Structure 1
Amino acid sequence: MTFTVIQWATGGVGRGAIQAVRRHPDLELVGCWVHSADKNGRDAGEIAGEQPIGVAATTSVDELLAMDADCVVYAPLLPDEQVVTALLRSGKNVVTPVGWIFPDPARTAGIDAACRDGNATLHGSGIHPGGITERFPLMVSALSSAVTHVRAEEFSDIRTYDAPDVIRHLMGFGGSPRQALAGPIAGALGKGFKASARMVVHELGLGSAATIHTRQEVAVAAAPIDSPIGTIEPGQVAARRLRWEARIGDRPVVTAAVNWLMGEQDLEPAWTFGPGGQRFEIEITGDPSVLVSFTGLHSESVAAGLSHNPGVVATANHCVNAIPYVCRASPGIKTYLDLPLIAGRAARWRAKETR
């Protein structure tokens, strides 16, 4: 069975999702929403850096709401619950990397009603949060007993992230430490990371009384640092650490963390990625304790990352590969705890060869 898909927004994840849909043997792209007028009417394949596919992008929400499609990959920078509600009520399933990973049932009455009205399903996915922070730690925890702590942590060179406005204005790089620490990124990301921590706490039975605490640190440039957002001058923010800890009393039971650096040179304090380099880590403290390191999700150079960022591509793939499972699920909000194992698909030539 072929499932028809609309791509919503064409930033890095959106472009990767268009490419992933084209490669998936069970999916067909039929629509594409774009924010900017200069993309309106352009072929979605060309926007994604590939050959034309005969699907014209549009800025019209109403046009896509009226379109017959099985699923929407909803990937704007920030979510709009009214848009998601409308998509669900129109009968379209939604997979998204920008929320609803493990939502609070007390706050989802509108979404639940839209799912019932449209006989549709909503699934939050992604990578970090949205995979590394909850799906994969829970999978790895099956190798342990008597678990006392779960850690999921990212170590990334943020220079490879091709979103200069986000890096400067949302993440706070290139500004003062005071501006960065007071900026929106901790709150914007915190919704997802806190939901991830709650899922792990819930599923492992680590304690119903857990509270989640946020910590931030910054490092500044000790000398001028060249970056895709311009030169980071001495004293300006050139690295950030954010941590979300679920605690029982004073004891951390789940930790989700990011370490974003503008390289490893000329930082004060002198932060580094450590001997493991750029990576994602999952650590389960129990009997036995288990440490898993994900590599390959970072590019080999800044230039390579700006043209093809594996972490962004993986985020898109994780969403796209969930589509058939979400389309087959019963209506409602479905988390990783509700869906079967989600797998990728073989290359199209391989799938044909083995039939």
Structure 2
Amino acid sequence: MISTIVWGTGNVGRLAIKAVDAHPALELSAVIVHNPAKVGKDAGELAGMERELGVVATDDIEAVLAAKPRAVVYGASGDIRPDDALADVVRAIGAGAVVVTPALYALYDQRNAPAEVRDPVATAVESGGGSLFANGVDPGWGNDILPLLISGLGSRVDVIRCQEIFDYTTYDQEDSVRYLVGMGQPMDYDAPMIAATVPTMVWGGQVRMIARGLGVELDEIREVVERRPLEQSVTTTTMGDFEAGTQGAIRFEVQGIVAGEPRIICEHVTRIHASCAPEWPVPPTGDGAHRVIIEGEPRIEVSVEATDVTGNRAEGGNATAVGRLVGAIEWLVAAEPGLYDALDVPLRYGTLS
């Protein structure tokens, strides 16, 4: 069994606990938390499971890493603390662990990551013998391996478009929704997630990986951003009120330009309520979907809707992204130490229960 720890118990971490527990080759050996109120609680409780797992949460990072876990699922946020997240990951790799995480956007396409991000990780790999696989929660597979897989089903590919379409009405992450994305803020609010160059920092690596898989060179990467205000005030069950006239929806594209035209596109359409920007793409049903559209011969469109046991699509989508990361651990442990991306790491088949 591969000794595996989960670091963080938020939207990613609690799903990672479930995924590690369900994986036949992994053993949950520790859970690291930051909130003192979570210290001493059983991992099963923190993950919202109906049973205890016999592993209690700790904030003693040094002791956990000193025990030499073979793998770490780093689920703590990197959105507003990228330097801290990088330092944590480097620390774990330096202790000899394989690390999988969605927190380090710049390392999704590790070959083209900035030196100030890549070099500390590469040094830790060399000195500690660990590895890193960073991949997204939006979900990563929907913007890298899925479009490449289905691109091979036709005779001609003109444009690849990857879409995430999501309504935040039932989402439970207020800081990110209000302040990172800017929902409910004045229309002149500078939301960090859509500030110039940030979409490229987060999704540009996936555009570059698709281009690499297709064997084409990008001229450049462009960003296109649109915003819409709420026409009426709305109330969400988890995050409260959002006033009319404030930002209610955003749509942006990260475009890979080939021969002067946008040919590889990651597009996000996000609303705080279904009534906002109804002319923009909507999911086939419910509050969210991931879609890949191949314009070519033939035209291929694939929509993926994932839900948890309660029908929550945000949790379902995140669970598939976590499943991709946790499913990579066994392969990474068997591979040589190094930095890996989605085109390096094969997709693990599921386990029939």
- TM-score between both structures, scaled by the size of structure 1: 0.88
Partners of 1:341 and 1:274 in 2: CA distance: 28
Quick check: 1:276 aligned with 2:275? no
Partner of 2:124: 114
**1:275, 1:186 → 2: CA distance?**
22
* 1:105/1:126 CA distance change after superposition, 3 Å: closer
| 1:38 Cα deviation after fit | 1.1
Cα distance per residue 1:42-61 (max 9 Å; x no partner): 22221111222221212232
Q: How many residues align?
A: 337
- 1:324-339 equivalent positions in 2, closer than 5 A: 324-339=330-345
Deviation at residue 309 of structure 1 after TM alignment: 2.1
Structure 2: runs of 5+ lacking an equivalent:
none
2:139–2:320 CA contact under 8 A, matched in 1: no
The answer for the alignment partner of 1:212 in structure 2 is 221
1:190–1:77: structure 2 CA closer, same or farther, 3 Å change rule? farther
The offset of 1:281, in angstroms, is 0.9
- 1:25 counterpart SS class: coil
One-letter amino acid matched to 2:284: G
**CA deviation profile, 1:271-319 (whole Å, cap 9, x unmatched):** 4544724321111233333221112x2579xx8539x721122222221
**Does the 8 A contact of 1:148 with 1:206 survive in 2?**
no
What is the aligned-residue RMSD (CA, Å)? 2.2
Task: Tell me the distance in 1 between the aligned counterparts of 2:351 and 2:96.
Answer: 26
Q: Counterpart of 2:210 in 1: which secondary structure? A: helix
Which of 79, 84, 87 is the matching residue for 2:92?
A: 87
**Amino acid across the alignment from 1:215:** V
Per the alignment, in what secondary structure is the counterpart of residue 188 of structure 2?
helix
In structure 2, the residue matched to 1:63 is: 63
Runs of 5+ unmatched residues, structure 1: 348-355
In the superposition, the TM-score normalised over structure 2's length comes to 0.88
1:74-223 pair list within 5 angstroms? 74-78=74-78, 79=82, 80-99=85-104, 100-103=107-110, 104=112, 107=115, 108-179=118-189, 182-186=190-194, 190-207=200-217, 209-223=218-232
Q: Which residue of structure 1 lines up, in the alignment, with residue 25 of structure 2? A: 26
Distance 1:162 1:105 in 2: 31
8 Å Cα contact 2:199-2:254 kept in structure 1: no
Give 1:146 shift. Answer: 3.8
**Percent identity between the two aligned chains:** 28
Q: In the aligned structure 2, how far is the partner of 1:160 from the partner of 1:249? A: 41
Superposed, 1:299-318 pairs within 5 Å as: 304-305=311-312, 309-318=315-324
Whether 1:235 and 2:245 are equivalent positions in the alignment is yes
Instruction: Describe the SS at the equivalent of 2:216.
Output: coil
Mean Cα deviation higher: 335-344 or 75-84: 335-344
User: Distance between the aligned counterparts of 1:74 and 1:333, measured in 2?
Assistant: 15
- Distance, in Å, in 2 between the alignment partners of 1:338 and 1:312 is 21
Q: How far is the alpha carbon of 1:258 from its aligned partner?
A: 1.0
Residues 299 and 309 in structure 1, CA contact (< 8 A), matched pair in contact too = yes
Pairwise CA distance, 1:216: 1.7
